[in-house]
Structures are given as structure tokens and as C-alpha cells.
Structure 1
Amino acid sequence: MVLRLGVIGAGLKAADYAKGWAAMPDVEIVATAEVSDVSRKRFADTCESVGAPRPAEYDSAEAMLAAMQGQMDAVYVSTPHVFHGANALAVVEAGFDLLLEKPMVTTVEEALALVEAEKRTGRTVVIAFQGGLSPLVHDTKNRARRGDFGDLVSVNASIWEGWAKNYAGQWKQNPAISGGGFMFDTGAHMMNTVCVLADAEFERLSAYANNRGLAVDLATAVAARLSNGALVTFNAAGDGPPGCASAITFLYTKAIVRIDAWGAWREVTINGVAEGREENEIRDTPMQTFQAVRDGRMENPSTVANGLRFARLWDAIKASVAGDGTPIAIEVS
């Protein structure tokens, strides 16, 4: 069955995904909602370049959701971060399934609203973290739950990028619509993959950040404790040289697991015996996983519930940074 997909927010990220998604035989991008004429045209041109029809174009999400009733099955949302919460609620309330770009929302309050809406409407909601949708991450979580690695002792996660220069003057460095800086943008991949694989709630943390002259954070360091007793450190540096990379090390009583924030590669050593390095494609995987979840072929690996865990973590980091490293206890109701 062909998935009829609408897109809210047809910026560079959506256009990059469209290179693969529009070429899939079981996906038809039928509509876009985007305030920028330039972005709408670029997105439609991208679809056309891979042999797909140009989607219907709308200048607002509300107009698209109303006009496409009965002609669309699901929506991918890829707007600036602070609009995710409202866009997500509008999509599910309009009766469509949702693939929501990371980070899910910007606050715990918005996360709780989406949890309630998903439960009430029965719509499928998948959060488009490449790590959360990576088969390597799924397998790592399953093996950890089976006890293959032993008990989790600690996690060391780092990520870096030449983000300060890459996005100079763009919305990602405007706190009014970004919801945060490097830690909440590229660093969100790192935090989310740790949330998924640690498989426990964050209990307490202390955090520091340095804006390095910008209006948003560029460097962030966090020390945290999980409810299972494991310890976690995060280190994010967004004022680095050209490029972008991440490494997350999970130290268990029987194993060492290294993986990147996007689930693109993994290295596992169990009782001193190293397995071969594994790699995974990460551009088309989010759509393939979304379809499998909608069709009932796969349990949702990137849930609103995990998005709520992430939101609690991010709210606590912001509170600790505002208090210059003040320890924050994270309440989970």
C-alpha cells in the first residue's frame, strides 16, 4: 500500500529526506505546508528530480490539514523546534499519523500534551531520531534487556560539530524559535540515544554550558545518575572544526558497547571478545521504520514516552545551567 505523505516544514532537512523518500515506490509525497516560497519550490523540485510528482503546496499547516482530508495518510513535521508541539497536536487532532522531527518538543508540558493526544486519538506517532529508528540501536536495546551485556555501570557520551559556523545567522541560533543551542540541536541525537539505550529514568544531574558569545549554548557538560544507579556524562562541543561526529560508550559488567548518536555504526566487545564493526544507512531508515510501525510489522522504537523522558532530561539540564551547575532532582510522576 502506498503511503500518502504530507510535509509541514519543507526546509533543508525535509528536502534532504525527500531525495530518498520521494523515490520510494510505496511513498507518495502529496502535499507540503511551508511559509517560505523558496523552500516550497526547492522541496517540489527535489521530488520532481527523482521522478515523483510535484506535491500540492500550502503556505500554512492549517490549510494543508483541512484541504487534504481523505487524500493523505500521514504527516512528517520538520519545522523549527518551538513549533513542534503545536504542529504535532494539530496533525493528530486532524486524524493523521505523525512522523515528528527531533527533538519531539521543547518542554515537559508539551510532551505531556502529546502523550495525552496520542492516547486519546489512537494515532501512530513516531519521533524521527535516526538513532531511535536505527536497527543497530534496536538490537542493542534488545540484547541489553536479554542480559547479554550484564548490568549497566556507566555511560560516556560526546558529540562535536562546527555548528557555530555552519548555522551562523540561521534560526537554529535564535533561542526564540530554536528552544536551545547545540546541545538541543545536534546534541539531541546523543541525548535521545542514551535515553533509549540506558532504558531507565534520569534521577539527578548537574550541568554547565558556555555560549561562547552566542545567544544559545555552544558547549555543554552534564553529569547524571539514572534510576538504576548507572552514571552518565554528556559532553557537547558545537564550536569545533568542520565536520560532525559522535561516540557513546556504554560500560556494562560483561561488555563494552560503542555506538554513535545516529545509530550509524556499532562496536561490541563481550568478555574481551570483539565483534566486527557494524554500519547502517540512516537517511531512508526513518521512513521505512515509520511505515513498518504503521503497518503493525514493528513495535514503535521511537515513542512519545521516550520523548517525555528526553523532555524531562532537557528541562533539568536547562534548570541546572541557569543555576550554574545546581544539582537538579528529576521528578517522574
Structure 2
Amino acid sequence: MVTRLRLGVIGAGLKAAEYAASWVAMPEVEFVALSDTSPSSLDRLASICAGAGAARPQCFADYREMLADCGDGLDIVYVSTPHAFHAEQAIAVAERGIDLFLEKPMVTTVPEAEALIAAQKRGKGTIVTAFQGGLSPLVLDTRRRSLNGEFGELVAISGMIWESWSSNYAGHWKQTPEISGGGFMFDTGAHLMNTVCLLANSDFASVGAYMDNRGAPVDIVTAVSARLANGALATLTAAGEGPKGCASFISLFFTKAIVRIDAWGGWRELVLDSVTQPRETAEILDNPLKSFLAIRAGSMENTGSVEMGLRFARLWDAIKASARADGTPVHIGAAGGQMER
């Protein structure tokens, strides 16, 4: 008999509802409690569970009440709320020692990342950030082979991502600075930054950046030029205004190989020792909870760890600081502190 893990949800919006359709059918989990400030969102998610023949979860307007009433009966909490709320909610879950599956990006700043790391150490639970790229078999294979030295030394990275994001999310919370934590670069562009951070196998040492809001309240276009601690150079471009659609391209130049891959790990092109290999594709994960459970069980590397989230946060904080200084490079010290010049 399968022991079912008891799941709580903080943030019952569209993403949680999308995932719930498959999660409620998993024999490994059961929805126990939901929290959201929107009664209609709570009812929608609870109805998905009931419609699948599962028990209707308890519903709460405040996540703190959910944790107070149900925390001792939860094994996992999934957090899917606007970015600026992640840190407070994630820290509250981690302090309770409950395993945490957290929507991307992990948090919005370095101090928040450090506070979450400290909370995890106290609570001793598992924390995974839900980046599709970090859970993709093609990204994981690229990382493994790079770490094993198969590709040689990393020389440079070129990454870009684009989406008709400015018009897609006009008036949405994602373009409200107080709760979004940033604009296109921090939302869709977070997939680019995270996959680069993961595959670079290095912290960033120096970052220069420009941002253009193009009349919006948040950044729409961002250009980054950086040096990694391992000596490789990197350029990142995020364009959140353009024709309908969304795509990304990341090229990693090694001394023995060139790897081209997208931010979500949906495809990869590899040139190894001057031999071009066939293009590979992988289905982008529609049920990342399965990967979370594998990480929780110790059978899969946690590429969405809090430490990786801290690397991401250091890069994002440096990008913001440099952009505020009109592109003046920001140097990240060995301990992760920033020194503007």
C-alpha cells in the first residue's frame, strides 16, 4: 500500500489549478489544505480535487492559519504566489520542517535567499524551486557531462530569451513592481538566468547591465555582460516586447564542445570534438511534482536547491544594481557581497 504524502498549497491561482489536474490523480499525494486570499481561486482548486473523487481540502484565506491548524499534518507545501511573497511564506514553511516545493523564482533578493537558507538549516526540510530547466533531463545531462570534464573548459556563454510579455501581461501583477520583484528579466527571463547559473557551474564575479522599461512600470528589455568566477565570459539578453510567441537560446562554448540548449531544456544541439550530433528533444515537464518527489527520496540531484537560488539571487541583485548605475559593473566578492564601481 502506498503511503500518501499530505500536500498543502499556498496560492491557489491558475498555475496551481493547472498542476492540480494531474497531481490529484497521483497515488503518492493527497491534497489536505489550501490557502489563498481569493475565495474563487480556493473554490476552483478544491473543486478540482472533489471532481476527481478526492476529499475536498480544507480552505484558508491566510496561509499562517493553514500552517497553524494543519502544519503538523502536512508533509509537503507547494507555494505558488506572486514573487515578492515567496520569501515570507517559504521561510514560514521551512521553519516548520515541512518539505517545500516553491514556484520560481525562489526569492527576490540575496538577503531573502540567505534568510531562507538559515530557515532550512533550522527546519531540516527539503526545498526545491520549480524551474523546468533545472529538472529537464537534457539540462541535467549537460551539467553532468560538463562537471565530468567531457566538454573541456568553459570559455563563454551567450543566452537570449524573448516573449510578447509586455502586452501579454499588461495590468497583471507581474507588471506591478511592489509584488513582482522585477519585470520580464525576473519573470520569464528567470528561466534563462537559472539555466545559465546551473550550467555555468560557477558564481558570477562581475556584472554590467542595462534595462529599458519601454513605458511600463517594470523592465521590459535587459542586456547583461558578465564575467564568471571561473573566468568565462557571458552575455544575456531578454526582450519582453515583440511578436506573439516565446523562445530562448543558450550557447555554451567549451574548449572541446559547443552546447546549444533552450532555457526550459526542451531541446539540445551538441558539437563535440568537431562532430555535430543530432538535435535532441525532451518533453518539457508538465508534472514537476514527480521530480520533486524523486529529489525528496534522494534519487535525483536537487538542482533547485537553496544554494542554487542564492547564486541566482546574487546575479539578479547585481543586474539591478548595475542597471541603476547606468551599466557600471558590479563586482561580487568571494562571499557574495556586492561592490559597485
> TM over 0.5: same fold?
yes
Q: Residue 304 of structure 1 corresponds to which residue in structure 2?
A: 306
Q: Residue 111 of structure 1 corresponds to which residue in structure 2?
A: 113
Q: Residue 134 of structure 2 corresponds to which residue in structure 1?
A: 132
Q: How does 1:135-284 map to 2 (within 5 A)?
A: 135-284=137-286
Select 1:65's aligned residue among 58, 64, 67. Answer: 67
Q: Which amino acid aligns with 1:302?
A: G
> Bigger shift: 120-129 or 204-213?
120-129
SS in 1 for 2:186: coil
1:263 Cα deviation after fit: 1.4
Question: Structure 2 unaligned runs (5+)?
Answer: 336-341
Question: Structure 1 unaligned runs (5+)?
Answer: none
For residues 283 and 54 of structure 2, the distance between their equivalents in structure 1, rounded to whole angstroms, comes to: 22
Q: Which amino acid aligns with 2:312?
A: F
> Bigger shift: 189-198 or 59-68?
59-68
SS in 1 for 2:197: helix
The answer to whether the Cα contact below 8 Å between 1:34 and 1:59 also exists between their aligned partners in 2 is yes
Q: Which amino acid aligns with 1:316?
A: A
For residues 90 and 213 of structure 1, the distance between their equivalents in structure 2, rounded to whole angstroms, comes to: 36
SS in 2 for 1:164: helix
Aligned residues: CA RMSD: 1.4
> Please, what TM-score do these two structures have when normalized by structure 2?
0.94
Q: Does structure 1 residue 289 correspond to structure 2 residue 298?
A: no
1:330 Cα deviation after fit: 1.1
Instruction: Render the CA deviation track for 1:127-174: whole Å, top value 9, x for unaligned.
Output: 111111222211111100111111111111111111111111110000
For residues 313 and 15 of structure 2, the distance between their equivalents in structure 1, rounded to whole angstroms, comes to: 22
Q: Which amino acid aligns with 1:15?
A: A
For residues 269 and 31 of structure 2, the distance between their equivalents in structure 1, rounded to whole angstroms, comes to: 36
For residues 83 and 221 of structure 1, the distance between their equivalents in structure 2, rounded to whole angstroms, comes to: 26
Q: In 2 relative to 1, CA 281–29 (structure 1 residues): closer, same or farther, beyond 3 Å? A: farther
1:180 Cα deviation after fit: 0.3
Percentage identity across paired residues of the two chains: 59
1:285 Cα deviation after fit: 4.6
Q: Residue 321 of structure 1 corresponds to which residue in structure 2?
A: 323
For residues 52 and 222 of structure 1, the distance between their equivalents in structure 2, rounded to whole angstroms, comes to: 48
Q: Residue 91 of structure 2 corresponds to which residue in structure 1?
A: 89
Q: Which amino acid aligns with 2:125?
A: R
**Count of aligned pairs:** 333
> Bigger shift: 146-155 or 282-291?
282-291
For residues 103 and 39 of structure 2, the distance between their equivalents in structure 1, rounded to whole angstroms, comes to: 21
For residues 51 and 277 of structure 2, the distance between their equivalents in structure 1, rounded to whole angstroms, comes to: 41
The answer to whether the Cα contact below 8 Å between 1:131 and 1:189 also exists between their aligned partners in 2 is yes
SS in 2 for 1:68: helix
SS in 1 for 2:141: helix
The answer to whether the Cα contact below 8 Å between 1:17 and 1:283 also exists between their aligned partners in 2 is no
> Please, what TM-score do these two structures have when normalized by structure 1?
0.96
Instruction: Render the CA deviation track for 1:245-297: whole Å, top value 9, x for unaligned.
Output: 11111111111111111112222121222333222233345211110121222
Q: In 2 relative to 1, CA 330–305 (structure 1 residues): closer, same or farther, beyond 3 Å? A: same
Q: In 2 relative to 1, CA 94–120 (structure 1 residues): closer, same or farther, beyond 3 Å? A: closer
